[in-house]
Structure 1
Amino acid sequence: MKFKLKDKFVFLTVGILLILCSWLLKPTLSPTAPTASATYQYKSIHSPDGIGKFYQGREIAQVMGHTGASWLERPSREAEEQPSKIVNAIDLKPNDVVADIGAGTGYLSFRIAPLIPKGKVFAVDIQPEMLDIIKSLKKEKNISNVEPILATESNPNLPPESVDLAIMVDAYHEFEYPFEVMQGIIKALKPGGRVVLVEYRGENPFVMIKALHKMTQKQVKKEMQAVGLTWRETKNLLPQQHLMVFEKPQR
């Protein structure tokens, strides 16, 4: 009888030790490691204009595909949005390197390029069809300092510390991975480099754009602060959009 009790005690002890070992050896995540659930949230019920993915409390809008290229190049765009004021307001220097993120057809890239004759424009887009349009227009316009770059949904594919200014016109709100893309942009910026976001004013219900394709200043500042950018100014010079300027900290 004593032998059986001892035997049971040995088995119980071994079992406890095995459980403890398996628990101690179980891989754990670092408490500081970011997780997908911490950055993004997903909802099955969402706006028909969104993708059901939320970042910083904002639903991400659907991307305007290359089939909408003609809308970007519409003759009425200057009268409606006055994009020439954007180009004049971003204080370009002749040797600046500018990244036009979500460049589309290159509408803005080709207006910036002549102002930086010793610099260049990286025309960045995730759609090869848009880059084909840029290549065609580059040849047609005989502009040599626009360089098309194919990005991914999470990476702008820009050289590190190569960019003086990154500009996004009516594009940021459609980024499927805004946190990752902005991290890539920050790595590409030189110390003290600027980020300019132009977005339809979400505070104004009379701006006749779908709600998910507009952003408030408060939301933009919140999302740029999340990636370490500092707000410098908002220029209220456009009829329907904010022009917001942020800066990468100096070393």
Structure 2
Amino acid sequence: MNRIVHMFGVLACAASCVAVGVAQEKSVKPGINDSFREPDPKEFLGKFEVESREVFSHRKEIVAACEIQPGQTVADIGAGTGLFTRLFSEAVGKDGKVIAVDIAQKFLDHILATSRDAGQRNVETLLSKADSTELPPESVDVAFICDTYHHFEFPLKTMASLHRALKPGGRVILVDFRRVDGSSTDWVMNHVRAGQEVFEAEILQTGLKKVYEERELLKENYFVVFEKPTPANTATEPRPGRGRGMGRGPGPEMRADQDVFHFLLDHHKEIRRSVKRLDNGVETLTESDNKEVATKIQEHVASMHQRIKDGRGLRFWDELFVAIFQKHASIKMTVEKTEQGVKVVETSDDKAVVRLIQAHAEVVSQFVAHGFDEAHKNHPVPAVLPAAPKLEFPIIPKHGGVLPRPKAVEQPRAGAKVVFDATADAKPADVNKGLDRVARLLNLYGVAGLKAQDVKITIVLHGEATKSVLNDAAYKERFQVEQNPNLPLIRELQKAGVEVLVCGQALNYKGFPDGEVTDGVPIAAAALTAVINKQTDGYSYIPVQ
């Protein structure tokens, strides 16, 4: 389970909220923090810092999403065992400061000791009260509240103290459990007293404004950013960000891009996508029968195309996307609108970038397949693969490439006789794999120093492979492609001495007249008899299904 941190307590419901200026004298849930008064930090390490907790397993992504800048002061509210305190210490650097805030002195002592052991001299601790963070006024750039807000016993008073502690333009980052009837666990429903809408409403009462929500980051928790408004007459230096509105959340353009992307994730079941790997990249086709979804696909791809050109990243917490945008200058991208979506060709002359492009295409396909369930994940950068061995085509060019293995056992022998029983289907624009398999066998003979005449080969086409022998005119009429892609390969195989036969029974069953069979391909009485006859003559049998 997720971070059951502990600091304060909770309100009963949104209707019980009172105005900020009204004293909140009664705890909304007395006793909720009793177990944290005298905690054993070692015991809680086994609860808070385990991979089964979403906020722990996503800790690096969460810190990246916080956009902490060097030199900032960060308050880790309800710091617990110091998981995020340690990470924030690295983010703010030697000129920054992290204040670990907690109601438990034992937690604070543990944090201070472990920070000093790690050489983190920029960490301080602060013992808070049940109704106040005790932070000095205008001392904090970022306040981080992770799985702790639902423990606030006096949420309005606590948030009022935090509002005072923020510098103008300072941010509050709220991470807490999604509490949804029918989908949240019984533990969450019983332990967390209200959902996201209630907590947000309470925080807004304190004078903060909601800046944005990172919907893609987490699944069991939500991640929302609030900001303390800057007085109109107060000039402040903008904080450098990472393409997200000077570090204060996305600007209008980024927000619009996010809205479109989230729309597509919500409608992922209405999207279909195919990916064709190229030697130097990918070719993708993404479409939908829903006109609104198709329009959003085109809008999204156009925006991403421009972002690649400009190097303006997004999903900055996702390692793969960060790597893609770092290499944007090495990526070539062409976009072609279709009636129902968009076709994209993305390539690079850099082999390492090609691997990134192909990995990214796979991830986008997972977005289409799984929606937000996939979008919540971080995707690692693929390892740089060694260059693929170069295939050779000594007898049949362009098809059936093989890798020479001169020291391997079971080399091809002259005098072999083989019959291929081909029934495999293929897309109309693709070559049948039975024909390609024959080309591969011939090329295996070629790399071994033998000739095409050293092996006798017959291929019998039937079943779904029957269409492979249709002439161009018939093929185009039936399958709406310009020409039959199998015919050039059939001609090359016949030149090499391969006997290509088509089953007469299959032609009848498929409704293909004899006149539609391309010239030079004999029609066998049946595939059954052709295969039996060849085996009777000593041919080895190889099925291609």
1:84 counterpart residue number: 60
2:76 counterpart residue number: 100
RMSD across aligned positions (CA): 2.3
* Deviation (angstroms), 1:206: 3.1
1:62 aligns with 2:32: yes
1:33–1:146 CA distance, 2 compared to 1 (3 A): closer
Which of 219, 227, 230 is the equivalent residue of 1:247? 227
2:263 counterpart residue number: none
Please identify runs of 4+ aligned residues in structure 1 that moved more than 6 A.
none
2:218 counterpart residue number: 238
- Number of residue pairs aligned between Structure 1 and Structure 2: 202
Q: Which of the pair is proportionally richer in strand?
A: 1
SS at match of 1:103: coil
* Deviation (angstroms), 1:195: 0.4
1:176 counterpart residue number: 153
SS at match of 1:122: strand
- The one-character-per-residue Cα deviations of 1:155-199 (angstroms, maximum 9, x if unpaired) are 211121011110100001101111111111111100011001100
Which of 139, 157, 165 is the equivalent residue of 2:134? 157
Work out the CA distance in 2 between the residues paired with 1:143 and 1:62. 32
1:122 counterpart residue number: 99
SS at match of 1:233: strand
Residue identity over aligned pairs, in percent, reads: 34
Work out the CA distance in 2 between the residues paired with 1:132 and 1:174. 21
* Deviation (angstroms), 1:204: 5.9
Range 110-119 or range 198-207, more displaced: 198-207
Work out the CA distance in 1 between the residues paired with 2:220 and 2:193. 10
1:126–1:244 CA distance, 2 compared to 1 (3 A): same
1:16 counterpart residue number: none
2:176 counterpart residue number: 199
SS at match of 1:123: strand
> Contact conserved, 2:76 with 2:98, CA < 8 A, in 1?
yes
Work out the CA distance in 1 between the residues paired with 2:146 and 2:30. 16
Unpaired stretches in structure 2, ≥5 consecutive residues: 1-19, 232-545
1:133 aligns with 2:110: yes
1:3 counterpart residue number: none
SS at match of 2:137: coil
Amino acid at match of 1:151: S
1:219 aligns with 2:219: no
> Contact conserved, 1:85 with 1:238, CA < 8 A, in 2?
no
1:224–1:128 CA distance, 2 compared to 1 (3 A): same
1:155–1:36 CA distance, 2 compared to 1 (3 A): closer
- The one-character-per-residue Cα deviations of 1:45-97 (angstroms, maximum 9, x if unpaired) are xxxxxxxx54xxxx688225224522112354468651221101011111111
Amino acid at match of 1:213: V
Amino acid at match of 1:244: V
Work out the CA distance in 1 between the residues paired with 2:128 and 2:52. 29
1:115–1:147 CA distance, 2 compared to 1 (3 A): same
> Contact conserved, 2:24 with 2:154, CA < 8 A, in 1?
no
1:178–1:34 CA distance, 2 compared to 1 (3 A): same
Work out the CA distance in 1 between the residues paired with 2:32 and 2:127. 19
Work out the CA distance in 2 between the residues paired with 1:235 and 1:111. 20
Unpaired stretches in structure 1, ≥5 consecutive residues: 1-31, 41-52
- The one-character-per-residue Cα deviations of 1:131-178 (angstroms, maximum 9, x if unpaired) are 111122112211111111111111211121011110100001101111
Range 88-97 or range 216-225, more displaced: 216-225
Work out the CA distance in 2 between the residues paired with 1:144 and 1:243. 28
1:80–1:150 CA distance, 2 compared to 1 (3 A): closer
* Deviation (angstroms), 1:33: 6.8
SS at match of 1:111: helix
**TM-score normalised by structure 2 residue count:** 0.35
**TM-score normalised by structure 1 residue count:** 0.73
